[in-house]
Chain A
Amino acid sequence: MDEILKILEKDGRQTPEEIAAQLQLPVRQVAKKIAEYEKKKVIIRYKAVINDELVPQEGDARALIEVKVRPQKDKGFDGVAEKIYRFPEVVSCMLLSGTYDLLVEVTGNNIHSISNFVSQKLSQIENVQGTVTHFILKKYKENGDFFTVTSKDERLPVSA
């Protein structure tokens, strides 16, 4: 992956000037590259990574749902997947190898609303053959960020 993307993937707030300095490139070239990535939706958007373990909201339940799907003739899994991921309750959806087909992450106000979503919406979709729902109890790490331990700098402030 391009070094510019690697830097932005870790810290989306770095400016073209800062990135240019690190990569020893002209600022204009970096700015142009970033604009291109944004235009082509290589960079979809910028957002903050929030540790929701620290801001526990009432009415915030999450579940991972294994979904077994009968593939359709032309579209394979894509058609069913789209029907699933279009629901606003679905925050991520992936096709996997292995014993089931789609892994779907869902949010809801509580366990009941998620259960309702699964029974009334998800499992009603044509070609969905079965689901297994796992409620998320605690998040330790996501996308490389720790959610449970705070990474304090343990080093002595001045050393040889």
Chain B
Amino acid sequence: MKAAMNRKIKKAYPLPKLSSVAEQMPPSGIRLFFDLVLTMDDVISLGVGEPDFNTPWHISQYAIEKIETGFTTYTSNSGLMELREAITDNVRKTYGLSYDPVREILITVGVSEAYDLALRALINPGDEILVHEPCYVSYKPLISLAGGSPRVVSTRKENGFKVLPKDLASNCSRRSKAFVFNYPCNPTGVTYSKKELEALASVIREKNLFVISDEIYHHLSFDHPHISFPILDGFKERCLYLNGFSKGYAMTGWRIGFACGPSPLIALMTKIHQYTMLCASVMGQYAAIEALKNGSEDTVEMKNEYFRRRNYIVKKLNDIGLSCHVPGGAFYVFPEIPACFSSDLEFANQLLKEERVAVVPGSAFGRDCSRHIRISYAYSVDKLKAASERIERFIKRHQG
């Protein structure tokens, strides 16, 4: 009887054919590598995309107090008013921009959600969205998922991985609707001067594009103050400004981000958000309020530490044969691999096997990036030193 039942269970119902759109999405290059790293011991990983600092204690403490006093409910779909007001104040003080906390701001589950919502609210079938490469791994797949076609504007090492106005212009077609822009950039660390941004802005105006500006690393601009895209002339109306708490405040796990932009777009994003998320986590939102109100010193301290590490790792990598430019921000370097390696994948796999150092192959970030790797310096100088000694040994061995 029991055996018969088991047999019945084994002949279980076969799943229906799953979404072909989802199935056709390429797996993240980071994911594949990650699975391999997890099987190994004693790995020094330079593959992490999040800060090594803990969330500043006063921020965690504030959220804990809120939980203890019973603030554990849903919030308004747009997010806590107090948080939206704090964002308005902060963006006004930092960039001189004024966004209406009622109609022009939405609190999201990280910049990740804000970006996804923006695409879903913008894209109609056939629309083309321009993205620069190399870029953050989520950009292209989510454009496709929202029914758009990503169109790549390649950036090159010779130009310090900056998007050139002429490349942006020559990649525009009549179907191009928006440009997704990220600076300081993951994975290259590129930042832009006001002049460079204005040159891009004039192409964007001319081609009548909208801009999604992902400025999640804005606290980490080392060589000049960060310039926000919507401050450029006419761009408060033409740009959706995305930012969040993950990187600058070391709050990745709290999952809070936000979008500021034209009210009709924010309203549509809020409508989708209300059905899919309801709201971002209330504890995270309270933590974010404390971060904005009392966390600016923490961000400066962390930035100073990243700055020193950047200087250290850039010098070290160039010394040992991984040539790279000096990234102006974020916490990544994107060096070129030596000629004796056939590809980024070979380099990363061999390095992991022989010396137990994990780096991310460049091709995870774009199709023309197979001669590069991403190295994160969200690690103590001690760790960076140990890792670069291993990498040096590895390169020497292969160069023979």
Q: How far is the CA of A18 from the CA of B315 in the complex (A)?
A: 10
Q: Which of A20-28, A49-57, A93-101, A120-128 contacts B (4 or more CB under 8 A)?
A: A20-28
Interface majority SS on A: helix, strand, loop or mixed? loop
A74 within 8 A of B: no
Q: Which of A11, A24, A159 contacts B34 (CB 8 A)?
A: A159
- The answer to whether A159 and B30 touch across the interface, beta carbons within 8 angstroms, is yes
Contact (Cβ within 8 A) B136 A160:
yes
A-side interface residues, number (CB < 8 Å): 16
CB–CB A157/B38 < 8 A: yes
User: Bound complex: CA of A66 vs CA of B43, how far in Å?
Assistant: 48
In residues 1-41 of chain A, which contact B (Cβ within 8 Å)? Answer: 3, 7, 11, 14, 18, 21-24
One of B30, B136, B138, B382 near A158 (C-beta < 8 A): B30
B49 near A160: Cβ-Cβ < 8 Å: yes
Contact B385 A18 (CB under 8 A): yes
Q: Is the CB of A159 within 8 A of B50?
A: yes
Q: Which residues of A contact B360 (CB under 8 A)?
A: 158
A-contacting residues, B366-400, CB 8 Å? 381-382, 385
> Once the chains bind, are B52 and A157 in contact (CB under 8 Å)?
no
Please state if A155 and B312 are interface contacts (CB–CB under 8 Å). Answer: no
B50: chain A residues at CB < 8 Å are 155, 159
Any chain B CB within 8 A of the CB of A156? yes
Q: Which residues of A contact B43 (CB under 8 A)?
A: 157
A159–B45 alpha-carbon span in the complex (Å): 10
Residues of B within 8 A of A23 (CB): 308, 311
Q: How far is B186's CA from A23's CA once the two chains are assembled, in angstroms?
A: 24
Contact partner of A22 (CB less than 8 A), chosen from B34, B49, B136, B381, is B381
In the complex, A155 Cα to B186 Cα: how many Å? 18
Query: What residues of chain B lie closer than 8 Å to A155, measured between beta carbons?
Result: 48, 50, 52
Chain A: residues with CB nearer than 8 A to chain B?
3, 7, 11, 14, 18, 21-24, 153, 155-160
Contacts A23-B308, A157-B48, A158-B360 aside, 12 further interface pairs with beta carbons under 8 A come to A7-B308, A21-B312, A22-B312, A23-B311, A24-B311, A157-B38, A158-B48, A159-B47, A159-B50, A160-B28, A160-B138, A160-B186
